[in-house]
Structure 1
Amino acid sequence: MVRRCGLLTNNREPVPLKGIEVALEVKDHVATVVSTLHYDNKEDKAIEAVFVFPLPGDAAVCHFSAKVGQTEIVAEVKEKQEAREEYDDALSSGQQAFLLEESEQSSDIFSLSVGSLPPGESASIRLEYIIELAVQADDALRFCLPAVLNPRYQPQGSEGGGVQVTSVPASQVPYSLSFSARVSSPRQVSKIDSNCSLEPLQYLNAEQSQAVVKLAAGHKFDRDVELLIYYQDAHQPAAVVEAGQVSAKPGTLMGDAVVMLSVYPEFPQAVMSSLASSGEFVFLLDRSGSMSGTRISSARDTLLLLLKSLPMGCYFNIYSFGSSFEHIFPTSVEYSEKTMEEALKKVKEMQANLGGTEILQPLKHIYNQPCIPSQPRQLFVFTDGEVGNTKEVTSLVKKNSTSHRCFSFGIGEGASTALINGMAKEGGGHAQFITGADRMQPKVMQTLQFALQPAVEDISVTWDLPQGVTAIVLSPPLTAIFQGQRSLIYAQLTGQSSEAKDCFVTVKYNLAGHPTQNQIPFTLQPTEETGLTIHRLSARTVIRSLETEKNNYDLMPFMEREDKKEEEDGVKQKVVELSVQSGVSSSHTAFIAVHKGESSTTQGPLLRQIIPVPSFRNMLSSPIAYRSISQPMCMLIPTSSACSMPLRMYGLSSHLGDCDSMQMKMENADHCDSMQMKLEIADQNHKGGIFHSLKRWMRSSKKKSAPSMRNSADSCVEKTLASSSPTDPLLQLVSLQKASGSWELKPTLAAVLGKTSKEVEKLKPASANENVWATILALVWLHGFKSDAEVEWKLLARKAASWLLSLNAPSVTDCVVAANTLLGCNVQKDTLGL
């Protein structure tokens, strides 16, 4: 019997959360999100409702209030332990209280407690946060409303327990979601895309600079809500000055004016035309159980593209991790045909079978490897982000940020924004999220182009301000700048001046040996009323920097215990003071609201109800038991109704983490070859995963089955584990390319092009080298038939063109003409880069 703790109450009544309304307001590239949660107690006694839910990891929660009847109670920010004690005291005295806390392990998980809600009483909770919208590689601004909260794996031996959360399949979430968005910008809103169904976009003015959009009716809690907002001429530098809070003391962050600068560097085309041909590329792949199925398959295909696109002369290595970690080479090796083929062979064998999600140890191992002279280290991390020790990981990345750049990819619904964005931000790189039906390859290859850009060095920011005015920069120093990517700088403007002088901020840097600068003009005249949005975003920036500084002390074993504690306490005190002053959440504070009206002492203990959230991990499963984030889970799901070897699970315990406890019945195992199945695995604490458990169970089964049945079942598992060559024609073509960038004239190439070897041989110009002919055929096919996927093959096509140019072959023009004739294309020689 599966426990329904949290999903239903003791009286089998639905949980008290009835609905969530979310209103999004986007002004240029800053978003304000207002969520209203409606509670209704249908029990015959007072209840305490606890709801653990996700928010964007870089959000600044700035308002929390509760409305009970006609009374509104606005919460205050207080030190966390003080807030908890006030909440407990209020409940014990029969008062209503509301507590909102940020997880100390990860900034994208919050806990909301609604205490002492009387029988028949209703309450509405209003939660407001602000966030900067990240710019994607295609210039879209990305907003994500997290709806899915997956279990976070807590590494063995780590301090602190996992945050407790109840998760259920989307179809069993007992509350509704409504979502609307209003977008305004100085520029035209070109379009708004989403991974969810939307009602038609409505413009509010003739300039089409304001628009509204809503989720279509019937939205299910089976995914995060992602909006991609496109502006015309999005790459415009801008400066917004916001006046200080009238009631705040001058000289403090909230009392002074604050400026937010958006910097969009434009690199000279001459520099950008030649991408770097050196570097150490380290790929770190999550192979925990939760990466199974299409995730690990897509990751293998992506590594194929990456390896084929690397420049000759660079160095590389591939790490993978779960409860333990592995690496293909002891240390990074020079990129060549031999090392590329050796790596690809290992990549094809990779499965999601390494257990839990312990990313810290492989990162430490990578950072302990000495850097290769003149080969800048570029780290690519692929993970579904189900990590419990987020702050420890991002602190480690920051500590090593001077020796590398970190590019991170969040895979699937519910990936931790705090982890993915935090690693990229602290590592001076770029973050991408791959959700729903997104293909991983385009986003990864776009990021590889960023990594191959010339490294920007000696970055400095200078201010030209009127006499008497000083800028105190609140943002961490800029460590990385990429072509076309926005960098934000917050600064507190102290002092006053009677001059009406224009102000300038200049960002200077060295790009591939060329001194470069970008200058942004602005005035001290405050922008129209912005509701202290800029101040709170800047306060959030400082708070996150301080929290990272505090976490860094844990990575300093040489410090004396007393000194470490003193430093940590000092940083914590700064965080609490700024959080209280600005009204912005932190890991050391909490929002507390107490309804101090007439109350009567509560008789007996409150009925505690845990409110469930949807988890992608169990979208296809039956209701699962209440568990903590640190607990593992695994499940086995046949995906084809035509399976001739159905697998049935019964007798599931409420723990679900022990794969050996699963009982399965197998029938018709001798028809294993026709079976198609998928293993959906969540994090497990033991190495080997469910494949290992399944094989062990089959071999040790005491059922009286024929040897042929057992052998066939073993064969089926082996075939499921075995890798297969890519079926996508593009990936098939890519898999045939050599490390140098060339292709060989082989029957496999002809087959991918849809031709016979005889047809390909017949049209080859007589004077053409076979590999030159094969390479031009491949390039013409890519440009002629796969132009919509150019971002995926652009780099490897550039490498192929460089190889052709290095040969200075006289028959190139003839080969291009013949290739167009054979393939029925009209691709010009110049288009191929020749």
Structure 2
Amino acid sequence: MYGEKEHCGLKSVIKGEWRNILIPVPLKSIKISCQLINYVAEVTVEQEYQNVEEGPIECEYMFPIEEESAVISFTAQLEGKTLESKVKPNKEAEADYDKAVSEGRTGFLAQSVRPDILKIKVGHLSPGAKCSIKLTYILEAALDVDKIRLTIPTTISPKYIPFHDNSEEANKIKSIKYDFNTPAPMTFSIGAKMKSKIESVTSPSHSIQTEGLSKDVVNEQGFFTSKTSLSASTTDLDRDIIILVKCEAANASVVLREDDADSTVLMVSLVPKLTLKSDPELDIVFLIDCSGSMMGSSIKLARDAINILLHSLPHTAYFNIVRFGSSYKKLFDSSVPYSDETLATAKKAMKKLEADLGGTEILSPLKMLLEEKTKLPRRVFVLTDGSVSNSMECLKLAQKHNNNSKVFALGIGSAADRHLVKGLARAGLGTSEFTTEGEMIAPKVIKQLKHCLQPNLKDVTINWGNDVDINNSSQAPSKIPSLYNGSRVQIFRIVNNKGTTIPATIKISADVVAEGEEGFDEEVSVDESGLQGTLLHKMFARKLIQELEEKEEMADEKEVKELITELAMKYQLMSKHTSIVAVDDKENKNSQPMQSRSIANQMPSGFHGFQQQQQHSRGGAPRMMMCAAPMAFGAAPMGAMGFFSMKSSMKKRAQPQFDNSSVEYEQCAAPMMRMRTQCDSYKQSVVDCCDDEDLEDCESEESMEDSSPMDTVLALIALQTAAGYFTKDKKIFSALNIQEEAIEKLVEETKADSKIVYTVLVCVALEKKFSDFKSCWELVVEKAEAYLNKNSASVELKDKIAALFN
């Protein structure tokens, strides 16, 4: 008699009435291969299954994909025979699958749980049988400063499920099982094809090796190419695969053209270059996730991001900080003017920032901020790992209020929820970025702050040519997204090519709301090579489906469902309302009843503070540093993990705190706490340091000579006042390795104000010694130079200080 299942490594532990039975996990391997062509990627995931049990089994496995991707093909092979797969409405596909399984035939079903989670079911796999599933999806690659950034999710972060969320989607997410071990070894490779020379291929997530970078020749299609794979043969599934491709024209706008028999799709991939210098008055609020899932490296990344943002705010801004978890807490009752006093209060609060507020209840604070009456336009920065089930509620809320407020989102951690982060920015007309441990966070947050400060563009239009109009074409998304300097936007237009002239160039233009600012105009040539097939056609359809799914208010839900189904069937895409099914026509004769086997996802690296040890010899494959037996977690119990509170104490080692009134405490929190206290990685994460009230004195006494360049830059930035100037501080001398006497002598000789001298000193030092980190200090120096110009700093003073660094 079988009961509840748990997972341990590559064995399932079936709890029986008389004894526990070890069952091998049927998922044997995962192979991910990718082709990156300019800014479009095609990803193929191949899963190998084998039943080594005595009776037939049904396997169920939920795994992640990029949230904007389109599943374009599904192939199932059973014992060497390829089965035909079809896209059908959900109920039809489920009926076909259930009928096959009930008749003893093997069936395959692929469904969308939500835009970033897929469910694969293999039904009635007979004893000893092997099968493979090959699933292919396409997606747009992002722009990361000057690189193309491709992210391949490999595990689903456990989601916090709010008490009010009783949706079908939440119930499916709740059923996902978790393990600290990988369900199967993974291999990965990627081939890049670029129109401009590939300078480097790197990864902050995995150890990789690349071939072909030294070649200056192009292939027969005119592409520069490279091939990349893991440094070792396999890796685990505990973090997103992140690939950064640097090429000469990563920031260039392009228009790709694809033709089929009846239509042409034009994809405008636009990277606006805007020169906007206004100093707007804005109300900027930082909404920081302090739930339990942020514990460890994620909360440190959030703390670093806020400190950089605080010092880069313009003096005209109002700001506030709101922490959220099971509840939310404001730093100030309402947004306050940016001053030395309010900045000091915020910095002091950030030193104590911990992941100690319970579950991830993001909807309430987001609603409060977006509905709150403000004197100035509001900008909301969300910093989160996004481990929630109710992403769509949050998206619709941001969309509802995007006339008055904009939302910018930073996804943090090894498996941040890309649907929530990207969706919030998309709905809130802002931008999104992602960062993980090992990446420089400063360039990302400064880029977003620049976007936040950018004046609104209005009347954005695309001239698709004289012959293209609403009668012979349609656009996705129907409304052109907000344009931000250096941020890539992709718009698709499908045109009936019979009797319609396709233009040679596409013109984009926009006006600026702020007075005295120039508008935006760009003309981009259509790529003459022309693609053949349906790749861009399918991406157009997926973009249109996404827009329909995220409509704020559906006047006729039935009509929208029919439109989505019609698009998905026409272009053979999986969607919210369509599935992919394949069934075998051969009956498997076995008298034993079929047993269900749910395959666990691997717990993401760093989740709830659990750090993992990089094994670079295994291609970056992480191994959990565990001293206790692994546990299985459903999505809902993980929310209870948020009751942990980590507070540093100067006199003694920190002791995690939790609310043991939770009904889930016994089943989740207490066992996890015992596990934590036994782990070396956890013990080492808690250090003795100074009392909170003495923190400033402790830090000022530390020598900065051994600091990394990035640490030095951040330490210098932290010394700037809200007005933009710097004052004498011994940290400056330590950081720059310069004698105090030399600067004081300069103050005396020039008879300049001490504040001006030290402001010039820091600005010149940043520009000369730390030019590689310009993206970190750029806004700080701009604010300082505005102060120097206002106070008429002399060129002679700047020259004398510059001479100190020659």
**TM bracket (short chain):** 0.7 to 0.9
**Partner residue of 2:453?**
452
CA contact (8 A) 1:331 1:369 kept: no
**Partner residue of 2:582?**
593
**Partner residue of 2:134?**
126
The yes-or-no answer on 1:184 pairing with 2:164 is no
Show CA shifts across 1:177-205 (max 9, x none).
11111111222222211122222322577
Q: Separation in 1 of the partners of 2:666 and 2:82?
A: 41
Distance 1:773 1:205, change over 3 A: closer
CA contact (8 A) 2:285 2:319 kept: yes
CA contact (8 A) 2:9 2:183 kept: no
**Partner residue of 1:570?**
559
CA contact (8 A) 1:192 1:201 kept: no
TM-score between the two structures when normalised by the length of structure 1? 0.82
**Partner residue of 1:533?**
535
One-letter amino acid of the counterpart of residue 506, structure 1? K
Where does 1:83-232 land on structure 2 (aligned, <5 Å)? 83-103=93-113, 106-138=114-146, 140-160=147-167, 161=171, 162-169=173-180, 172-195=181-204, 196-202=206-212, 206-207=217-218, 209-221=224-236, 222-232=238-248
Distance 1:350 1:645, change over 3 A: closer
SS at 2:566 equivalent:
helix
Where does 1:648-797 land on structure 2 (aligned, <5 Å)? 657-659=668-670, 662=673, 677-678=684-685, 725=699, 728-754=711-737, 757-758=740-741, 760-766=743-749, 767-797=751-781
Distance 1:158 1:147, change over 3 A: same
Deviation at 1:56, TM superposition (A): 0.8
The yes-or-no answer on 1:302 pairing with 2:305 is yes
Q: Separation in 2 of the partners of 1:505 and 1:648?
A: 58
The yes-or-no answer on 1:627 pairing with 2:633 is yes
One-letter amino acid of the counterpart of residue 477, structure 1? K
One-letter amino acid of the counterpart of residue 63, structure 1? S
One-letter amino acid of the counterpart of residue 575, structure 2? S
Show CA shifts across 1:722-750 (max 9, x none).
89859733333222211011112244544
- Flag structure 2 segments of 5+ consecutive residues without an equivalent: 15-20, 611-623, 658-663, 703-710
Indicate the larger mover: 299-308 or 606-615.
606-615
Deviation at 1:57, TM superposition (A): 0.9
Q: Separation in 1 of the partners of 2:120 and 2:665?
A: 25
Distance 1:645 1:542, change over 3 A: closer
Show CA shifts across 1:643-671 (max 9, x none).
9979999xxx997523498559999xxxx
Distance 1:344 1:571, change over 3 A: same
- Flag structure 1 segments of 5+ consecutive residues without an equivalent: 247-254, 554-563, 668-674, 680-712, 827-834
Show CA shifts across 1:80-126 (max 9, x none).
233223322221111101111111xx411111111111111100101
CA contact (8 A) 1:466 1:503 kept: no
Q: Separation in 2 of the partners of 1:809 and 1:599?
A: 86
CA contact (8 A) 2:410 2:435 kept: yes
CA contact (8 A) 2:154 2:241 kept: yes
SS at 2:668 equivalent:
coil
Of all paired residues, the percent bearing the same amino acid is 28
Q: Separation in 1 of the partners of 2:755 and 2:784?
A: 11
CA contact (8 A) 2:59 2:599 kept: yes
One-letter amino acid of the counterpart of residue 209, structure 1? F
**Partner residue of 2:617?**
none
Show CA shifts across 1:368-395 (max 9, x none).
11243xx443221111121211122122
One-letter amino acid of the counterpart of residue 100, structure 1? A
**Partner residue of 1:830?**
none
CA contact (8 A) 1:647 1:666 kept: no
Where does 1:258-337 land on structure 2 (aligned, <5 Å)? 258-267=265-274, 271-272=275-276, 274-337=277-340
SS at 2:774 equivalent:
helix
**Partner residue of 1:582?**
571
Q: Separation in 2 of the partners of 1:720 and 1:393?
A: 38
CA contact (8 A) 2:143 2:250 kept: no
Show CA shifts across 1:134-190 (max 9, x none).
11122x111111123220111121122234222222xx3252211111111222222
Distance 1:231 1:383, change over 3 A: same
CA contact (8 A) 1:3 1:626 kept: yes
The yes-or-no answer on 1:257 pairing with 2:260 is no
Show CA shifts across 1:481-507 (max 9, x none).
1223322111121362276x7454332
**Partner residue of 1:48?**
58
Distance 1:665 1:609, change over 3 A: closer
CA contact (8 A) 2:325 2:358 kept: yes
The yes-or-no answer on 1:31 pairing with 2:35 is no
One-letter amino acid of the counterpart of residue 324, structure 1? S
Q: Separation in 2 of the partners of 1:721 and 1:363?
A: 34
Q: Separation in 2 of the partners of 1:405 and 1:648?
A: 36
CA contact (8 A) 1:412 1:434 kept: yes
Distance 1:219 1:646, change over 3 A: farther
**Partner residue of 1:559?**
none
CA contact (8 A) 1:45 1:607 kept: no
Show CA shifts across 1:354-373 (max 9, x none).
1111111111111111243x
SS at 2:392 equivalent:
helix
Indicate the larger mover: 460-469 or 173-182.
460-469
CA contact (8 A) 1:197 1:219 kept: no
The yes-or-no answer on 1:79 pairing with 2:92 is no
Deviation at 1:586, TM superposition (A): 1.3
The yes-or-no answer on 1:369 pairing with 2:372 is yes
Deviation at 1:3, TM superposition (A): 4.5
Match of 1:65 among 72, 75, 83: 75
SS at 1:744 equivalent:
coil
Distance 1:68 1:313, change over 3 A: same
Q: Separation in 1 of the partners of 2:690 and 2:157?
A: 27
Deviation at 1:73, TM superposition (A): 1.2
Match of 2:520 among 509, 516, 521: 516
SS at 1:801 equivalent:
helix
Distance 1:108 1:770, change over 3 A: same
One-letter amino acid of the counterpart of residue 197, structure 1? S
Q: Separation in 2 of the partners of 1:178 and 1:751?
A: 47
The yes-or-no answer on 1:801 pairing with 2:766 is no
Distance 1:240 1:297, change over 3 A: closer
Distance 1:186 1:759, change over 3 A: closer
Deviation at 1:424, TM superposition (A): 1.8
SS at 2:787 equivalent:
helix
CA contact (8 A) 2:279 2:316 kept: no
Deviation at 1:68, TM superposition (A): 0.6
One-letter amino acid of the counterpart of residue 583, structure 1? Q
Indicate the larger mover: 19-28 or 776-785.
776-785
Deviation at 1:334, TM superposition (A): 2.1
Q: Separation in 2 of the partners of 1:33 and 1:335?
A: 46
Q: Separation in 2 of the partners of 1:63 and 1:418?
A: 22
Deviation at 1:70, TM superposition (A): 2.6
Distance 1:521 1:233, change over 3 A: closer
Q: Separation in 1 of the partners of 2:654 and 2:344?
A: 37
SS at 1:764 equivalent:
helix
Q: Separation in 2 of the partners of 1:401 and 1:277?
A: 18
Q: Separation in 1 of the partners of 2:462 and 2:421?
A: 27
Distance 1:786 1:663, change over 3 A: same
CA contact (8 A) 2:409 2:422 kept: yes
The yes-or-no answer on 1:825 pairing with 2:797 is no
Distance 1:527 1:283, change over 3 A: same
Deviation at 1:721, TM superposition (A): 13
Q: Separation in 2 of the partners of 1:321 and 1:69?
A: 51
Indicate the larger mover: 94-103 or 184-193.
184-193
Q: Separation in 2 of the partners of 1:720 and 1:413?
A: 33
